[in-house]
Chains A and B, each alone.
Chain A
Amino acid sequence: MIETYSGIRESRPNRYNDLGSTGDAAEEDFRTGCLKKADRSFAQGLQCQQINSMAALMSLEDSVFIAHAPQGCVGCTSMAVDQYRVGQAHRGVKHSKNPRIIVSNLDQNNVIFGGESKLRKAVEEAVKRYQPKLIFVLASCASGIIGDDIDAIVKDIQESTQALVIPIHCEGFKSKICASGFDAAFISINKYILKQEKIKKQEGLINLFAPVSISYADQVEMERMLSLLDLKVNYIPFYSSLEKIKEIPSAQASTSICKVFADEFMKALYEDYDIPYSHTVMPIGVRNTDIWFRGIASVVGKEKEAEEIIQREHERILPLVESIKNRLKGKRVFICGGTGRSFAAAALIDDFGMELVGLETPTYDEDAQADIEYLNTIHPNFVIDIANMQPFEQVNLVKKLKPDVFIGVPEWAAKLGIPTTHVLDMKRPTMGYDGLLFLGNKIADQLENPGFNIKLSQHIKLPYKDSWYEEDAFKYIIGGN
């Protein structure tokens, strides 16, 4: 009997969110079971799982998104809204739409007496205004703590509503790992849309799961690569629809563009609909793109074709990579990113002969262990900070390690005068063989011309006291060992 997954990523064994270590020590401690759950007695803000649930779904067609929350809990949709508008422009949509986001706007009264009537009103308005096919109801810290039973309310509303009304349990306080929000969204998609119903298989159809942060250029590149294997892509859930979601169970196989996006869902699809899947890495850089491509190819039994294609792509790309390598070889790198991007970036820099000195990533688990084992064979003694951002730790480490280049959110390292670049570009190419060249040239150009950051650092000081840079970066991580 398979235990039902709650959607909370912490509930999986051997997963750690608070750790300061080195590549070697972390690998050893994980292997020997010496890592323990820790916490930070001082921390900076995190990303809550509701942000991820919202962002994952927001470009679905004919949908309304209801946040059963105070007004503030749709703040981060501003990023996904922008991404949606730009995404439409890139896809040639003439009249870009706003996503339909309705907030029930819980207030002082509702906190005491409950917010059911407002939730009902929100659903009514959604139906009246847009006659959508899908209405998502997203929980919040407030709705969770006051005990509004959104499942029961939705069940009742559903009886008189044509649109599918789908509750999503993404209460922020339930998880420290924002990727839990992806799982919460997929659990509800499975439960309320797919409903364990098996449908006719479509030979050659692949579910390609992609989060909001994937640019249109990257989508096109992924689809191009899979088409080389004669595979057709069902791109989910970005810019997709109820119809495309309903096609998920008919796929021959599944894969994802991000390590923590739909990984749990793909397991569920395997268990519930016999759909095999490939869970590998984010296809950034030659090595990771190869791994990703081989992964899905082997699931559909096209290993031989894949090797031929990889060979061809390498012949085309590697000479060009070599010219970029000459510009980047030996440079020392600090990387900070989400789970997928950080490890992808770490693998990428090997293509260019760069050296990893520091790695900041949100979670350490079995998946991370596999990456760290690989990285330890190439890079001696790099520092690991298991942190979701925590810029105070980052700047402390960056200042001590003095990397030649920082890859990640540039805001803080830039103020230290370090050249910065990023592998997260939601509007331009990053992935696959073609994305690699764009990315490599970007990194090399930014490293060679660091004037902005150098001059910025001469005028702008980060908010930290000078004494902080003398302290142990992991001073506030308590427990654990």
Chain B
Amino acid sequence: MSEVVENPRGGCVLAGINSVLGAIDRVCPIYHAGPGCCMQSTASDQGQSGNKSSCFVSSVSIPSTNMLEREVVFGGTQKLQSTIQGAIDIIDADAYFVLTGCTAGIIGDDIESITDQFKEEGHQVYPIDTPGFAGDSNLGYEVVWNTMINQVVEEPLKKEENLVNLFGIIPYHEPFWSGNLEEISRLLKKLGLKVNTFFTEHQNMEHIRTSSQAALNIILHPWIFKGPARKFEERFAVPSIRYPGLPIGASDTKRFLLMVGEALNLDDRLVNQVIEEEDDYVYHYLAQSIGTLSWKRFAVAADAGTALGITRYLANDYSFTPVLVVITEPIFRQEDKERIIAELTNLEYARPPKVVFASDQYEINKVLMEEEDLSLIIGSSNEEEVSSLKEVQFIVAAFPIKDRLIFNRAYAGYRGSLTLIEDLYDNL
């Protein structure tokens, strides 16, 4: 199913799984994999997420069986057993997840029989038998949630009507994940909600275990999480709403908050009051710098969630001209592509941009190069080359990011939209 690709954005499914687990407090992945997989998978996702990595264990700190020729020939379950035992003995984690690399997948080591032994002894050791070659980092996000639903999330003892689960912002695979989750969470809290982000505020396995008590799943992404959402609904009766991509700026975030309000039957007055306060906050700033950024004809090359958010915001609220949007992750379902195109076609005043789906760097460069009348490119570190050749303004605002340091910077929501405008300022 996967295709030959130049400069892929992100790693294999293992990289995606590792990134998600690395963002949960006190969770330790254990690799049953080749000697380089810990480093490769961390470097591909966390390493390109604005130069930060998991606070707990990452890269060469991750326990690993480092499978060599001997394990390839004779199997590596014995090595796995002593590696899990060592991890339990020395690493102070709340849970351990055993991941399989290509080597373990191809030779067919039965990891579940090993993890079962540890489970029987009362240890929180969970198998995720999805070898690297099974897919890319985006799939990893869904694999983790499917694992959680199947093995970790408990039947709800009660329902909490003001509790929501936030999905769709992928840790590290989205360099601004942390700041974006904080901003979205801040807004939802103003609506009186309790928010499971799972990855901020030291949220941990306990939040995952009890996530079945939530009243609503909010998916902030145009296509990911379809399968897990259905499972959540079937198993735990938690319904989902999907907001297609990152809400950025006053109009977009208002639309998001109204959608949440409607799904949860929140008090209209409260929702409108929050929207008014936040509108006032951003416009009070925007009004202090009118005309400082010149008119731009822009292109975005980014993952769908980021591309939709940035395009809607700059077109609808900032009166820039959207010319071209390149969606850079492979998207397999036609319905998802249509949803994305619909969002980009349905702009308030602006004429719709050209939309291209391309994951291959050569093709991405080619469509950007061919677009003649551009004055701004918003993309990843990979688009620096084409922007330089075209000699147009360029900002790095999407994965992969290797030439910026990103901690809690957010582009989402009300406050994030101001940061995006700050970053777009160009004194040249």
Please pick, from A43, A50, A118, the residue contacting B66 in the complex, using a CB distance under 8 A.
A43
Task: A214 to B48: give the CA distance in the assembly, Å.
Answer: 21
B386: min CB distance to chain A, Å: 9
A468 interface residue per 8 A CB criterion: yes
A107-B64 contact given A142-B133, A172-B36, CB 8 Å threshold: no
Cα A40 to Cα B105 in complex, Å, equals: 22
B35, A79: Cβ atoms closer than 8 Å: no
Interface residues in B61-105 (C-beta closer than 8 Å to A):
61-69, 71-72, 79, 82-83, 85-87, 89-93, 101-103, 105
CB of B132 closer than 8 Å to a CB of A: yes
In the bound complex, do residue A45 and residue B31 qualify as a contact, i.e. CB atoms below 8 Å apart? yes
B384 to chain A, nearest CB (A): 7
Indicate if A104 sits at the interface (CB-CB under 8 A). Answer: yes
The answer to whether B63 touches A43 (Cβ under 8 A) is yes
Q: From B383, which residue of chain A is reached at the shortest CB distance?
A: A98
The answer to whether A75 and B402 touch across the interface, beta carbons within 8 angstroms, is no
Q: Does B403 contact A (CB under 8 A)?
A: yes
Q: Give Cα distance in the complex from A476 to B87, angstroms.
A: 11
Q: Assess whether A145 is interfacial by the CB under 8 Å rule.
A: yes
Q: How far is the CA of A141 from the CA of B105 in the complex (A)?
A: 11
B106 contacts A105, C-beta separation under 8 Å:
no
Q: Within 8 Å of chain A (Cβ to Cβ): is B3?
A: yes
A352 to chain B, nearest CB (A): 28
Q: Is the CB of A98 within 8 A of B361?
A: yes
Judge if B4 is at the interface, Cβ distance under 8 Å.
yes
**Contact between A46 and B35 (Cβ–Cβ < 8 Å)?**
yes
Interface size class for chain A? 35 or more
From 49 to 99 in chain A, residues with beta carbon under 8 angstroms from any chain B beta carbon are 49-51, 70-76, 78-79, 81-82, 85, 94-98
CA distance A58 to B425 in the complex (A): 34
Given contacts A96-B384, A172-B36, contact A70 B60 (CB under 8 A): no
Within 8 Å by CB of A95, from B28, B39, B68, B388, lies B388
| A193 at interface, CB cutoff 8 A | no
CB distance from A275 to the nearest CB of B (A): 32
In contact, B91 and A465 (Cβ under 8 angstroms): yes
Q: How far is the CA of A97 from the CA of B388 in the complex (A)?
A: 9
| B59 interfacial by beta-carbon distance below 8 Å | yes
Question: A51: which of B13, B40, B45, B400 is its contact (CB, 8 Å)?
Answer: B40
C-beta contact mask, B7-37 vs A, less than 8 Å → 1, else 0? Answer: 1101111110000000000101001001111
User: Are A71 and B92 in contact, CB atoms less than 8 angstroms apart?
Assistant: no
* Nearest opposing residue in chain A for B59, CB measure: A45
* Minimum Cβ distance to chain A for residue B417 (Å): 29
Closest B residue by C-beta to A102: B6
A48 within 8 A of B: yes
A412, B43: Cα distance in complex, Å? 18
How far is B56's CA from A75's CA once the two chains are assembled, in angstroms? 20
CB distance from B391 to the nearest CB of A (A): 9
B133 touches A85 (CB 8 A): no
Query: Is the CB of A379 closer than 8 A to any CB of chain B?
Result: no
Instruction: Give Cα A47 to B66, complex, Å.
Output: 9
CB of A160 within 8 Å of the partner chain: no
Shortest distance between the CB of A397 and any CB in chain B (Å): 14
Name the B residues within 8 Å of A82 (CB-CB).
381, 402-403
Which residues of B are found within 8 Å of A125, using beta-carbon distances?
Answer: 4, 6, 362
Contacts of A178 in B (CB 8 A): 35-36
Q: How far is the CA of A95 from the CA of B56 in the complex (A)?
A: 38
B38 at the interface (CB under 8 A from A): yes
Q: Is the CB of B4 within 8 A of A105?
A: yes
A41 & B86 in contact (Cβ 8 Å cutoff): yes
Compute how far the CA of A102 lies from the CA of B83 in the bound complex, rounded to whole angstroms. 34
Centre residue among B13, B34, B43, B400 by max chain A CB count within 10 A: B34
Chain B, residue nearest A177 (CB) = B35
The reply to whether B102 and A42 contact each other, CB–CB distance below 8 Å, is no
Asked if A142 and B102 make an inter-chain contact with CB atoms under 8 angstroms apart, the answer reads yes
Give complex CA distance A392, B381 in Å.
Answer: 33
A301 interface contact, C-beta 8 A = no
Q: How far is the CA of A101 from the CA of B5 in the complex (A)?
A: 8
Closest-CB distance, A251 to chain B (whole angstroms)? 33
| Contact pick for B91, options A43, A45, A101, A463, CB 8 Å | A463
Interface residues of A in 139-184 (CB under 8 A from B): 140-142, 145-146, 172-176, 178
Whether a CB of chain A sits under 8 angstroms from the CB of B287 is no
Among candidates A75, A174, A460, A468, residue contacting B90 with C-beta atoms closer than 8 Å: A468
CA–CA, A103 to B136, complex, Å? 12
- Chain A residues near B1 (CB-CB < 8 A): 107-109
List, in ascending order, chain A residues with CB within 8 A of B102's CB: 70, 106, 111, 140-142, 145
In B329-348, the 8 Å CB interface with A consists of none
Any A CB within 8 A of the CB of B44: yes
Cβ of A78: which chain B residues have Cβ within 8 Å of it? 43-44, 47-48, 400, 402
**CB distance B37 to A76 under 8 Å?**
no
- Contacting residues, chain B, for A129 (C-beta < 8 A): 6, 362
CB atoms of A46 and B39 under 8 A apart: yes
Give chain B nearest CB distance to A279 CB in angstroms.
Answer: 26
Q: CA separation between A476 and B102, bound complex, in Å?
A: 26
B268 interface hit (Cβ, 8 Å): no
With known contacts A78-B400, A107-B1, A48–B36 Cβ distance under 8 A? yes
Interfacial chain A residues near B57, Cβ < 8 Å: 463
List the B side residues contacting A392 at CB < 8 Å.
61, 90-91
- Cα A105 to Cα B90 in complex, Å, equals 36
B253 part of interface (Cβ distance < 8 Å): no
Are B39 and A71 within 8 A (Cβ)? no
Contact A172–B34 (Cβ < 8 Å): yes
Q: Tell me the smallest distance from the CB of A89 to a CB of chain B, in Å.
A: 10
Cβ 8 A contact of B8, one of A45, A46, A71, A79: A71
B83 touches A173 (CB 8 A): no
Q: Does A44 contact B (CB under 8 A)?
A: yes
Is residue B212 contacting chain A, with contact meaning CB distance below 8 A? no
* Contact of B384 with A44 in the complex, beta carbons under 8 Å: no
Of B39, B71, B134, most A-chain CB atoms within 10 Å = B39
Residues on the B chain within 8 Å of A173, using CB: 34-35, 67-69, 71-72, 103
A129-B362 Cα distance, complex, nearest whole Å = 8
Interface flag for A391 (CB, 8 Å): yes
> In the assembly, what is the distance between CA of A76 and CA of B400, in Å?
13
- Known A78-B400, A173-B69, A463-B28; contact A141-B34, beta-carbon cutoff 8 A: yes
Q: Is B211 an interface residue, CB under 8 A from the partner?
A: no
Tell whether, in the assembled complex, residue A176 and residue B66 are in contact, meaning their CB atoms are under 8 Å apart: yes
In the complex, the chain A residue whose C-beta lies closest to that of B8 is: A71
- CB-based nearest B residue for A100: B6
Chain B 195-222: CB-based contact to A (< 8 A → 1; otherwise 0) = 0000000000000000000000000000
Which residues of A are found within 8 Å of B132, using beta-carbon distances? 70, 72, 142
Contact between A44 and B62, CB atoms less than 8 A apart: yes
Chain B: CB-nearest residue to A97: B385
Top 6 closest pairs, chain A to chain B, by CB: A48-B36, A42-B86, A45-B38, A72-B12, A75-B44, A75-B40
Known A45-B64, A71-B8; further 11 A-B contacts with Cβ < 8 A: A42-B90, A44-B63, A51-B39, A72-B14, A74-B11, A75-B40, A78-B44, A102-B5, A175-B35, A463-B61, A463-B92
Chain B residues near A (Cβ < 8 Å): 1-8, 10-15, 26, 28, 31, 34-45, 47-48, 55-57, 59-69, 71-72, 79, 82-83, 85-87, 89-93, 101-103, 105-107, 132-136, 361-362, 381-382, 384-385, 388-389, 400, 402-403
